[in-house]
Amino acid sequence: MSPYGVMQEIGFYSVLFVNVFFFGLGIMGAVNYNETFVVVALVYQASNLNFALFCQKIWGHAWVGLVVNAFFAYPHAMLWKELNNGIMAPTNYVNEKQSCYSAQDHAV
């Protein structure tokens, strides 16, 4: 394998690790009603969206990255809005339970 191939593989796994880290951070923020974690994950998604827009301008065929990143950024933004407004909170979860899927509620 050429040195370029090794560097490309290292870059791929580095980006994969960073993505998993920030996705995990967003999930932990959602599970624990932690607005900071959700906002950090949202900022990461927004930076990915900006990068995809930058690639779109250069290569002209990166529109798939724009759409995919927008699909990931939107739920983070809406959850942040609900956490910020007090709609989604541990004390208010009883009122919002119908909008959340729980495996315990759907046990066979």
At 16-28, the pLDDT tens digits run 899 899 999 999 9
Q: Does residue 101 have a pLDDT over 70?
A: no
User: 102 φ, ψ to 5°?
Assistant: -130, 125
Q: Is the pTM of this model over 0.75?
A: no
Which stretches within the chain are classed as H helix? Answer: 3-31, 35-59, 63-85, 93-96
What gap in Å lies between CA 48 and CA 8, rounded to an integer?
19
pLDDT band at 88 (very low <50, low <70, confident <90, very high): confident
